[in-house]
Amino acid sequence: MGALSRYSDVVLNLLVAVAISLVVNFSYLLLVLVEQSSEASSSGSSGREQRVWERRDEGRLAVHADGYGYLVYAGGDSVYVPPQNLRWLGLEDGDRIRADIRPSRRSGGHPVLKEVRTRNGEEFDYSRLYNRPSQWTELLLQLLFYLFMSFVLLTILTDSHRRYSMRRYIRSCLWSCVAAVVLYCVAPVTEWHSGRVVLNFMGGRMFDYMLLLKCSFALVVSLLYSRLYVLISQRQLVEVENERLKNENLTTRYNMLVGQINPHFFFNSLNSLAMLVREKHDQKALTYIDQLSYTFRYIIQN
């Protein structure tokens, strides 16, 4: 029974970990789908002839919090940089970029970045981009990592419900925080410059705001779920214990009742009743039954 309960805990923790991983990576999955949709729409309209020209001067990249950016030039004009270009090319806020641009498909819109020529005074190398993992590969890595992280945290936190005490639960919370910090350090991240997938502590930038936010979300959800899980488990244990005590009480009362009734007295009473019935003394038999029932009621009540 204990092995079955432990197996059910593992399955439940795994299902919750899958849910947490999907929620954490929902925004990234949505971004991948939107980018693919925008690429498909742009490829569908590529048949139309568009004029592309190269700007000789450099613009400084300003990245907006929503993911897109603008190349701002000395004259005050600007060029729109789509989010997929920022991610794929690995452009960062403050980069000095000389690029080819094309007009916007919307009338009155900003010109759009077409191709990067130089970045921070150096020729931009497009060949390195083909060593980067695909967006779906990055998404799969993210899903697997947060699935593993959530499962580890839930396993640590829910293990305390078997021999629950507040001290054990607080200790489990502390250990889960330590595990979250360790997993944050070994989280897979993609280097913008090399395109390699490396561990976070090897990437040269330990404080990653988005990674820290995702890991914190997974930790907080795991803590809340574990607390709810422990409370429900304790309530179920109390209900099971109350049911066991109730059954024991009924069994004890039954045994006491059986012990109070003398078997010989019960046997002799039935024989006397049978004799009255055989001799056709119906009225005496009814009176005898009434007195016998009164006697048994008195024994049961006392």
Question: pLDDT higher for 177 or 10?
Answer: 177
Question: pLDDT higher for 199 or 129?
Answer: 199
User: pTM of the prediction?
Assistant: 0.52
- Give the model confidence (pLDDT) of 197-248 as tens digits: 778 877 667 777 788 888 899 999 999 998 888 888 888 888 888 898 888 8
SS3 of 184-224: the string is HHCCEEECCCCCCEEEHHHCCCCCCHHHHHHHHHHHHHHHH
Which of 103-107, 115-119, 185-189, 237-241 has the weakest average pLDDT?
103-107
For position 151, what pLDDT does the model report? 92
Nearest-angstrom CA–CA distance, 262 and 16: 60
100 forms beta bridges with: 54, 115
Buried b (16+ CB within 10 A) or exposed e, 30-47: ebbeebeeeeeeeeeeee
Using pLDDT thresholds of 50, 70 and 90, give the confidence band for residue 43: very low
Nearest-angstrom CA–CA distance, 155 and 160: 9
For position 149, what pLDDT does the model report? 92
Average pLDDT, the chain: 79
Architecture of domain 59-120: Beta Barrel (2.40)
Mean pLDDT of 241-263: 77
Question: pLDDT higher for 105 or 130?
Answer: 105
Nearest-angstrom CA–CA distance, 103 and 106: 9
Question: pLDDT higher for 287 or 206?
Answer: 287
Nearest-angstrom CA–CA distance, 108 and 51: 16
Mean pLDDT of 134-162: 83
For position 194, what pLDDT does the model report? 59
Tokens of residue 20, six digits: 């947490």
CA 28, 31, 37, 42 dihedral sign is negative
Using pLDDT thresholds of 50, 70 and 90, give the confidence band for residue 126: low
61 forms beta bridges with: 71
Nearest-angstrom CA–CA distance, 118 and 141: 31
Whether the per-residue pLDDT at 49 is higher than 50: the answer is no
Mean pLDDT of 70-89: 84
Mean pLDDT of 75-86: 84
